[in-house]
Chain A
Amino acid sequence: MSSPLAIETKDLGRIYKLRGSKKETRKELVALEGVNLTVERGELFGLLGPNGAGKTTLIKILTTLLSPTSGWARVAGADVNAEPESVRPRINMVSGGESSGYGLLTVRENLWMFSQFYGVPSKEANERIEALLEMVGMKDRIHTKSSDLSTGLRQKMNIVRGFLTEPEVLFLDEPTLGLDVGAMRDVRRFILEWLKADRERTLLLTTHYMMEADELCDRVAIINKGKVLACDKPSVLKQRLQKDALFEIEVSPLNGLTQQMMLDQPEVTKAAISETETGAKLSIGLVEESALARVINLFTQKDVKVMNLSKREPTLEDVFVDLVGRSMAEEESNESA
């Protein structure tokens, strides 16, 4: 408990060597590069970025599952690479979007077994299991074999597994991935309640849901292509865009109008395009509201009809667009292409 920092990284890097079919095709993938982060005890810290940004790689290093190729990281005061045995009793992790667990065991047995690995006295473990299952709304499934649970319930069981051992630092990797809206809400509420119960608890959450990061996190690091682009409170990150007027415009098909054409307009500070069933949705930032008329004029020249237009407050998505130049969805589709 000596270090005030729950997590600290310095120039942390990770390069994967990808093996091709022949030796000469061997490539290197930079998953993390020069990551410097500090997370204080009691913080709910968010890592926000598209798929493949390096969030999971960072969590794997911090949870001692993966060695870094450069730099160092400390969790709860101990070096994750040199002293993994000191780190492990003080952390736990939950990965979303997967149905891990022993299907032959009941929910209680699965959770109880993991609690025993952490040395939680059996009676106390059973009490915690009941209380946590109650909190996530699945106490009635305590004696159900986990193979008989739906994917969402199995994920909730896993989330309980992470919280059960009362770790000093908890890592949640996309905990709401694949959950329905109601379950997502339950999990978010549960996370906040858990943190509120003890101010020393620290939680690092990765997500690519902007709203989730905005709603939950004390501070957020925006990560893309292995690099941390910005790190601050969500409100501070959004403030940097307050000087721009942000508009969301639904239009008919673009008829050759491109993102670059819009960015070429001197008053347009940012522009992101996503296709819709009826045409496209544009998110644009303008130096002043009055410039909107000239953007509309550009649409008219291209015979693009405006179907809906609204002004809005900046979001973390806008911050991402501002930092990367593209929306997170565009970045993901670009990566997978």
Chain B
Amino acid sequence: MAAWLGWVIESNWTDPFLFAVYSIVKPVSGAAILVIMYGIISQGNFDSAMFPYIYLGNAFYIYVGAVMTGVSWAVVDDREHYKTLKYMYIAPIHIPLYLLGRGVARFITGSIAVFITLAAGILFLNVNINFAEVNWLLFFATLVIGVVMLAMLGLLLAGLTLMTVRHEGFIGEATAGALYIFSGAIFPLNVLPEWLRPIGYFMPTTYWLELLRRSLVGNVAAAFPTLANFSDLQILGVLTGLSLLFGTVSVYVFRWCDSIAREKGLIDRTTNY
């Protein structure tokens, strides 16, 4: 039910033609900006392993913004825009499940954006993915674990959003922005100063993006030293472990935030921002 509601909201805000145009133009524009920047900095060296590294990292990073903020944004949407959060709260439903359901729609629209970005890269930008050599099992296993992990991180952010009446809309964006830097999305972690790298090593998104790249274009990932000493299985283990850790923490943080929000009377507090 929540997923259906999310989909109606995500897909019906404009007419179908504009929605289709928006769905294509937005991810392609985002990728184009990155490609142009890369082209200028590398002086047009698109054969370097760095290019698919950046391109794939950027393409899959769309899921981080979509799924994670999709879950937490449902709190802002229902509380501020539709003024229905209090009615959801007094209904006999499991609120975390409802919020996760609302994130499903963003996962679907995010998947469309990822697919379009990848297709544009393969068709027009010489991003070489040899489909015969793709490790599909690893790819789909990683994708599923990652999406679940991002949804649980979204639940954590939803809890914080619940407690934050002002500036709540920026929590998701700020977190997604921070993860963009520390997850090796567009540059390997070893580019960062040594004292900042542990942040990246603690982020499940780092291992998730690495595994996605390895499953699609193994040689590209091998060209960078950050996680080169780890096997696919080891990284999958780390990703699963960190996902379980973050997922458990998210559930407890959400419960705590929920109880604080009830204590402070924040569940139906609106700011008209």
Instruction: List residues of chain A with CB under 8 Å of any chain B CB.
Output: 16-17, 57, 60, 63-67, 85, 88-89, 91-93, 95, 98-105, 109, 113-114, 116-119, 161
Contact = CB atoms under 8 A, between A and B. Distances in A.
A104 B265 contact: no
A321 to B, nearest CB: 31
A17 B265 CA distance: 10
Given A109-B8, A113-B4, 14 more contacts: A65-B90, A67-B259, A67-B262, A85-B92, A88-B90, A93-B87, A100-B87, A101-B83, A104-B8, A105-B5, A113-B5, A116-B1, A117-B88, A161-B87
A66 B262 contact: yes
B90 A102 contact: no
B82 A102 contact: yes
Contacts of A103: 82
B263 interface: yes
A118 B92 contact: yes
Nearest to A116: B1
Nearest to A14: B265
B262 A89 contact: no
A258 B273 CA distance: 43
A67 B268 contact: no
Contacts, number: 71
Q: What 6 pairs between A and B have smallest CB-CB spacing?
A: A100-B83, A89-B92, A117-B91, A88-B92, A67-B263, A104-B12
A101 B82 contact: yes
B124 interface: no
Interface of B: 1, 4-5, 8-9, 12-13, 82-84, 86-93, 259, 262-265, 267-268
Contacts of B8: 102, 104-105, 109
10 contacts: A17-B264, A63-B90, A88-B92, A91-B90, A99-B83, A100-B84, A102-B8, A105-B5, A109-B8, A117-B92
A16 B265 CA distance: 8
A186 to B, nearest CB: 22
A113 B1 contact: yes
A64 B90 contact: yes
A103 B78 CA distance: 12
A65 B83 contact: no
A66 B264 CA distance: 7
Given A93-B90, A102-B9, A161-B87, A66 B1 contact: no
